[in-house]
């Protein structure tokens, strides 16, 4: 044995112990007063060690919890001596007896806090270098260190909980889908490009010089082919790879709950997703009520200014009709454009100065786009506008989230309280009706302000705080997305989704597909939770002629379409049934359920914002030999 495997204590040198035939009887989170007096064997890591001379306490930890172990010199001199040598993160085995803790010595914060184990024997199974941070700590500030020493970070109780939750959630989803008759089928990692809108990760072929596989951005084409093959209901908890500029909530590889069905209506898919989400949330202790709210894209924009509405706050309200032509004239408001308002509840009464500061903050943020904030409080002080202020407030107070059943604590139902902040946005004279071809831009701009103020006053209104109940989770289905988006850079229409999404049948029949692309609706839908998109899907194109037309309408020549998707266009010609599906981000669902702030908290070995794995140190250059085998040469290094 190498000298490093010896541990020094009390000027003696002891070797580490072997496990031998010892078996653990309980996990470190299992023991309760019911086991008082029982002989047990525990194994785990030393979470903390407290030396009180003749008594040493070791908190022994495994993934289920922590048990306090007492090493009493009078019980075993030898075990006590070993405990003197033990340090944080040493791996130990303890043979001993469960003892109920004395009155007043219980620890109500620990599940095992009513007992301790009095050790007769202690085995030091392995030592540990002093770790760069202690897994016993709750919060470790430096995330880079956490990621570099991920194996230590993952030992932390919070992380162990997150991954236990992840496993439970994934299993609940799997079980639900299998019960519903879905088959889990794997699709390849080494394939060709899938058009999900990101860059591909490529794998060079050794055998075929100059050719590359692409890692799938999603199993999209394969799952559609599985429908053509007659599998009827497919799902997969699938890894996807997208090389895109990483934001805080993105990872280059992530996991989707991916599914596809034959002959579905949109509602068929909604019910399946609601079913598996209910199962997943149940696994996290939360009962959901279904069906979820459903709204069209146009209504989402009209009411929330965004296609992923956060319904925890009151919606936007149209005040367009309240601002009559005369009022618009005297207030210098553009005659034909919408006037929008919303309430941020419970902000508290603002002083005159605070209100003015907020108004100017809003105006500054709008810049010269033409939008302006209307100071409702000031209107009230002017006799000719006071009735308008009153009408506006009344209309804004209609939001059902402001007046829950039974009335509100701080005011009569249907009226704003003095602590609610009413925000009204008007277009100044000369404000453009469209911005970048977008007639909905005013709604989007005001919607963004709503979210911004919602964040700013989050502590005040408290609606983002978790209560641990269903009320924390506001789900919505958003449907009827536009099929195309205008791309100002290339001055062309581009697919808003992947190009296999079916347009509305009516919009194909009426010729809009060719004549009025901006008005074509897609049979595409998103599922949204608290303002985050959890997943998206669509009814697919199942006819070769329509698919070819869509490729064409996206500016792809028939030859290009054949070159990229020829196999798929071919497959469509052999009796493709109508089909549709969806994919939801598993990482994000678990993140929300864990109450975590980043996907990195629920992905065991995540990458940094620069797409680096700090633990294994990837990516790295490879040897000349490997490059040669792959027929590659590096032109420049970063
Ligand atoms: N393939 C799509 C995505 O990854 C989901 C779907 O349309 O089913 O976003």
Q: What percent of the chain has pLDDT over 90?
A: 81
Give pLDDT, residue 493.
84
Say how far residue 217 (Cα) sits from the centre of its chain.
18
Q: What tens digit of pLDDT does each residue of 100-159 get?
A: 999 999 999 999 999 999 999 999 999 999 999 999 988 888 999 999 999 999 999 999
* CA 257 and chain centroid, separation: 13
- Residue 195 reports pLDDT greater than 90: no
Q: State the pLDDT at residue 11.
A: 39
Q: What is the pLDDT of residues 457-493, one digit of tens each?
A: 999 999 999 998 999 999 999 999 999 988 888 888 8
CA distance 216 to 232: 22
Locate 390 and state its tokens: 């009153």
Ligand 1 centroid distance, CA of 537 (Å): 5
Is the bond preceding residue 619 a cis peptide, omega within 30 degrees? yes
Spatial distance between the Cα atoms of 560 and 117, rounded to a whole number of angstroms:
71
**pLDDT for the residue numbered 290:** 97
| 417 C-alpha to ligand 1 centroid (Å) | 44
Helix and strand element counts for the chain (H, E):
19, 23
Q: If you measure from the C-alpha of residue 220 to the centroid of ligand 1, how many angstroms do you get, rounded to a whole number?
A: 6
Residue 8 has pLDDT above 50, yes or no: no
State the pLDDT at residue 248: 64
pLDDT at 413 over 60: no
Helix or strand (DSSP H, E) at 269:
helix 266-283
CB atoms inside a 10 Å sphere around CB 574: 9
- Which atom of ligand 1 lies closest to the CA of 582? 8
| Lowest pLDDT segment from 8-17, 187-196, 500-509 | 8-17
- Report, in this order, helix, strand and coil percent for the chain, each rounded to 5: 30, 25, 45
d(CA 609, CA 623): 26
Residues of the chain above pLDDT 70, percent: 96
414-465 pLDDT tens trace: 678 889 999 999 999 999 999 888 899 999 999 999 999 999 999 999 999 9
- Name all residues whose Cβ lies below 6 A of ligand 1: 196, 218, 220, 498, 536-538, 581-583
Report CA(307)–ligand 1 centroid distance (Å): 17
441-456 and 297-304 helices cross at what angle (nearest 10)?
50
The residue whose CB lies within 8 Å of the most ligand 1 atoms, and thus the one to mutate among 264, 501, 581, 583, is 583
CA of 536 to the centre of ligand 1 (A): 6
CA of 549 to the centre of ligand 1 (A): 21
Is residue 409 over pLDDT 80? Answer: no
Q: Whose CA is nearest to atom 7 of ligand 1?
A: 537
What mean pLDDT, rounded, does the chain reach? Answer: 92
Find how far residue 616's CA is from the centre of its chain.
25
Long-range residue pairs from 594-599, CB within 8 A, at least 24 positions apart, any chain: 594/161, 594/162, 594/165, 594/166, 595/466, 596/162, 598/248, 598/249, 599/249, 599/250, 599/251, 599/254
pLDDT for the residue 20: 94
Q: Considering the entire predicted model, what is its pTM? A: 0.92
Backbone angles phi, psi at 541, to 5 degrees: -80, 130
Atom of ligand 1 nearest to the CA of 194: 1
Please report which helix (H) or strand (E) contains residue 479, including its range: strand 475-479
- pLDDT of the residue at 411: 53
Express each pLDDT in 353-392 by its tens digit. Answer: 999 999 999 999 999 999 999 999 889 899 999 999 999 9
Ligand 1 closest atom vs CA 258: 8
**In the predicted structure, residue 90 carries a pLDDT above the cut 60:** yes
Instruction: Give residue 637's pLDDT band: very low, low, confident or very high (50, 70, 90).
Output: confident
Residue nearest atom 3 in ligand 1 by C-alpha distance: 583
Q: Does the pLDDT of residue 408 top 90, yes or no?
A: no
Length of the chain as a residue count: 638
Q: What is the four-CA torsion angle of 327, 331, 334, 335, rounded to 10 degrees?
A: 10
Taking only the tens place, the pLDDT of each residue in 33-59 is 999 999 999 999 999 999 999 999 999
Query: Longest C-alpha distance within the chain, in Å?
Result: 96
* pLDDT value at 334 more than 80: yes
């Amino acid at each position: 044995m190498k000298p490093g495997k010896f541990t020094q204590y009390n000027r003696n040198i002891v070797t580490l112990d072997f496990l031998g035939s010892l078996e653990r009887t309980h996990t470190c989170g299992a023991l309760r007063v019911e086991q008082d007096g029982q002989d047990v064997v525990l194994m785990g890591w030393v979470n903390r060690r407290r030396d009180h001379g003749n008594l040493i306490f070791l908190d022994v930890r495994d993934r289920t919890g922590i048990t306090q172990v007492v090493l009493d010199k009078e019980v075993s001199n030898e075990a006590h001596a070993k405990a003197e040598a033990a340090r944080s993160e040493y791996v130990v085995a303890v043979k001993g007896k469960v003892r109920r803790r004395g009155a007043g010595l219980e620890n109500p914060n620990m599940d095992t806090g009513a007992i301790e184990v009095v050790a007769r024997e202690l085995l030091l199974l392995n030592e540990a270098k002093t770790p760069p941070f202690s897994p016993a700590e709750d919060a470790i500030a430096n995330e880079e260190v956490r990621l570099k020493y991920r194996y230590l970070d993952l030992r932390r109780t919070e992380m162990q909980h997150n991954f236990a939750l992840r496993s439970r959630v994934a299993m609940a989803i799997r079980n639900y889908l299998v019960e519903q008759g879905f088959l889990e089928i794997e699709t390849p990692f080494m394939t060709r490009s899938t058009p999900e809108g990101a860059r591909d990760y490529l794998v060079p072929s050794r055998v075929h010089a100059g050719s590359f596989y692409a890692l799938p951005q999603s199993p999209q084409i394969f799952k559609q082919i599985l429908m053509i093959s007659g599998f009827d209901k497919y799902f997969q908890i699938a890894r996807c790879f997208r090389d895109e500029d990483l934001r805080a909530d993105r990872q280059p590889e992530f996991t989707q709950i991916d599914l596809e069905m034959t002959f579905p209506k949109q509602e068929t898919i909604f019910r399946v997703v609601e079913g598996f989400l209910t199962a997943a949330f149940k696994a996290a202790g939360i009962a959901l009520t279904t069906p979820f709210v459903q709204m069209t894209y146009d209504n989402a924009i009209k009411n929330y200014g965004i296609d992923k509405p956060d319904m925890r706050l009151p919606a936007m309200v149209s005040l367009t009709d309240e601002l009559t032509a005369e009022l618009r004239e005297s207030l210098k408001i553009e005659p034909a454009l919408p006037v929008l308002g919303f309430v941020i509840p419970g902000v508290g009464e603002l002083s005159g100065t605070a209100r003015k500061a907020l108004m100017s903050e809003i105006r500054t943020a709008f810049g010269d786009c033409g939008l302006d904030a209307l100071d409702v409080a000031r209107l009230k002080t002017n006799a000719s506008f006071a009735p308008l202020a009153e009408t506006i407030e009344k209309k804004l107070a209609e939001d059902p989230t402001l007046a829950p059943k039974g009335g509100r604590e701080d005011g009569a139902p249907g009226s704003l309280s003095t602590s609610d902040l009413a925000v009204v946005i008007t277009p100044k004279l000369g404000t453009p009706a469209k911005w970048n071809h977008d007639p909905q831009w005013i709604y989007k701009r005001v919607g963004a302000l709503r979210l911004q103020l919602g964040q700013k006053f989050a502590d005040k209104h408290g609606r983002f705080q978790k209560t641990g109940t269903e009320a924390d989770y506001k789900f919505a289905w958003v449907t009827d997305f536009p099929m195309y988006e205008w791309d100002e850079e290339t001055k062309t229409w581009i697919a808003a989704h992947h190009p296999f999404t079916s347009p509305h049948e009516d919009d194909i029949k009426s010729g809009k597909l060719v004549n009025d692309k901006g008005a074509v609706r897609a049979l595409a839908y998103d599922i949204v939770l608290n303002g985050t998109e959890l997943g998206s899907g669509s009814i697919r194109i199942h006819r070769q002629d329509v698919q070819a037309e869509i490729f064409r309408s996206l500016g792809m020549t028939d030859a290009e379409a054949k070159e990229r998707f020829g196999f798929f266009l071919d497959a469509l010609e052999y009796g493709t049934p109508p089909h549709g599906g969806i994919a939801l981000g598993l990482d994000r669902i678990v993140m929300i359920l864990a109450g975590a702030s980043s996907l990195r908290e629920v992905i065991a070995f995540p990458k940094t914002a620069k797409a680096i794995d700090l633990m294994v140190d990837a990516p790295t250059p490879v040897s000349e030999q490997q490059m040669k085998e792959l027929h590659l040469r590096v032109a420049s290094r970063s």
